[in-house]
Chains A and B, each alone.
Chain A
């Protein structure tokens, strides 16, 4: 499901035009992004938490060339699902 499909399904549920839904989604996304840039954790009840984690710098060695590279530290967005979502997903059958 890509961006457009998501907007379409939401518009159908909300009985609202797609343009408004698209605007609202964009606003939500920018708001979340701004908050994450400020390194704040966003928690959606029943869905999960978005948080920023710091990955420390590390030394990586290329397995075949043996070139050692110093990877600088970085900040990444991490999503952790809530237990409610996890329980919902438990009912899902594992196909593979």
Chain B
């Protein structure tokens, strides 16, 4: 910034050259100018010079201060100050370099881009629903593949073991327990496994008690049963290790599919050994599938029930959308790779399938809900046709569309639909003339769901549209 100081002498020179008067006249003039301004100011007047500015006297109040050296309080005397307020012309001319800059409202920056985003934000939504549908298809395919052989077992897996079955098991165990010595040895070795010692006693007592059993005992029976099989067939092998692994891996299967155990009691221990490794893998898969299912469920729930998310306007929707996309993609990958990694034996699919069935149920629920939301969007997008009416009202003084809306639909925001149905009779929604017959349209209950923030939001959007139309 050029801080070059122009003295009054230079001003005099400039003025004299410009208005072609002698320097003496110009000097005199300037002196008189300043003196008259001073006089006017001393008289307490305000001096206004056109196109230049206003001189005014301001009184500065006396104030207390502290002497920096001594720390004593001192009183600074009040004084008059000549304030100069530049005229708009001068102000604008001086400020020309920065004139193009305008104050920016920082908070108002946000709503604008969000409104632009609304259209974009819908795209992830559609992708998400599409992918959800894909997953649904995949699940049903997988279901169809294995359901032929395993549907029965699957059902039994989800249900608790029937007492009838357990009695059969019990009878089997009855016989097997006659070789008590072997079995009990194994049982004692198996203390590390979840079966408490006490349980062995109830088992023995139930030999006399008969087939009335409780569920925990059933498991013991079955386990025993299994162990005995193993020991019978393969006594040379290190029994406890086999049994323990077998125990861990088979627990679910044997618990759930008691019948299958009964019907195929001669399962080779070799077969079990073969199965051990894949099963371990499957357990990991099972965990992953469950975790993914939970994430998908949560995101779907979030997506459906969180108001800011349903708004579409919030930028968080995009994030959620992306996350869910990722999840969906990973789930899809999982399902794609699954058949390759797991052996195609029907039985091996059972365990993951079990969870997948549950997943598919969850997903179906989610998908159904998403579809309902989507249909809502469709309802929003399509122009509404009003054919059915639930009533009509004659406009009285003080009656308003919002009041009718509150009366018939429970929320004043839905007045827009009444307006839409009576557009030809209402030139201005703000002022409805007396005596006009307003027909109250019958609306889809989903459209005027007071609890759904989307409905209210849509109504407000419509409100904006109509109010703006009116203004224009």
B105 touching A29, Cβ below 8 Å: no
Contacts of A57 in B (CB 8 A): 101
Q: Is the Cβ of A72 less than 8 Å from the Cβ of B93?
A: no
Q: Known: A77-B94, A92-B80. Is A27-B6 also a contact (CB below 8 A)?
A: no
**Docked pose: A6 CA to B178 CA in angstroms:** 130
CA distance A57 to B25 in the complex (A): 44
Q: Which residues of B contact A46 (CB under 8 A)?
A: 34
Instruction: Check if B106 sits within 8 Å of A31, measured CB to CB.
Output: no
A49 nearest CB across to chain B (Å): 8
Q: Is the CB of A14 within 8 A of B28?
A: yes
Question: Smallest Cβ distance from B93 to chain A, in angstroms?
Answer: 5
Check B78–A94 contact: CB distance below 8 A. Answer: yes
Contact A77 B101 (CB under 8 A): no
Contact A28 B48 (CB under 8 A): no
Q: How far is the CB of A24 from chain B (nearest CB, A)?
A: 5
Minimal beta-carbon separation of B108 from chain A (angstroms) = 7
Question: What are the interface flags for A82-96 relative to B under an 8 Å C-beta threshold, 1 for contact and 0 otherwise?
Answer: 000110111010111
Tell me which of B6, B41, B46 contacts A42 (CB under 8 A): B6
Binary contact readout A5-48 vs B (1 if CB under 8 angstroms, 0 otherwise):
01001100110000001011111111111011111111111111
Knowing A1-B47, A10-B33, the reply to whether A81 touches B81 (Cβ < 8 A) is yes
Asked if residues A69 and B105 are in contact (CB atoms below 8 Å), the reply is: yes
| A32 with B19, Cβ < 8 A, contacts A42-B6, A68-B106, A68-B107 known | no
With known contacts A67-B108, A77-B53, A28–B97 Cβ distance under 8 A: no
Scoring B residues 48 to 59 as 1 if CB is less than 8 Å from chain A, else 0, what string do you get? 111111010101
Does residue B72 face the partner (Cβ distance < 8 Å to A)?
no
* A79-B18 CB under 8 A given contacts A13-B36, A33-B51, A37-B96: no
Inter-chain CA distance A21–B21, complex, in Å, is 11
Chain A: minimal CB distance from B364 (Å): 46
Q: Mark B312-329, 1 if CB is under 8 A from A, else 0.
A: 000000000000000000
Q: A28 contacts B30, CB within 8 Å? A: yes
Contact check, B53 vs A3: say whether CB atoms are below 8 A apart: no
Contact A40:B51 (CB < 8 A) given known A10-B32, A31-B11, A68-B105: no
A73/B52 contact (C-beta < 8 A), A10-B32, A31-B11, A90-B79 known: no
CB distance from A19 to the nearest CB of B (A): 12
Q: How far is the CB of A43 from chain B (nearest CB, A)?
A: 5
Q: How far is the CA of A54 from the CA of B8 in the complex (A)?
A: 23
Q: Total A-B pairs in contact (CB under 8 Å)?
A: 185
Contact status B33-A73, CB under 8 Å: no
B2, CB-defined interface residue at 8 Å: yes
A78 to chain B: closest CB distance in Å? 8
Q: Complex formed: what's the CA distance from A95 to B57 in Å?
A: 12
Q: A44, B8: Cβ atoms under 8 Å?
A: yes
- Residues of A with C-beta under 8 A to B29: 10, 14, 21, 24, 28
Q: Chain A residues with Cβ under 8 A from B71's Cβ?
A: none
Report the bound CA distance from A65 to B140 in whole Å: 55
Annotate B1-40 by CB proximity to A: 1 below 8 A, 0 otherwise: 1111111100100110011010000101110111111111
A sample of 11 more A-B contacts (CB under 8 A), given A6-B49, A32-B52, A39-B1, is A13-B35, A23-B19, A26-B51, A27-B15, A29-B52, A31-B11, A36-B93, A70-B106, A74-B98, A79-B83, A94-B78
Identify 27 residue pairs between A and B in the complex whose beta-carbon atoms are under 8 Å apart, listed by A's number. A2-B48, A3-B48, A3-B49, A6-B40, A24-B26, A25-B49, A27-B15, A29-B50, A32-B11, A33-B93, A35-B6, A40-B3, A42-B5, A43-B5, A49-B5, A69-B103, A69-B105, A75-B98, A76-B91, A76-B94, A79-B53, A79-B82, A79-B83, A85-B82, A89-B42, A90-B80, A92-B42
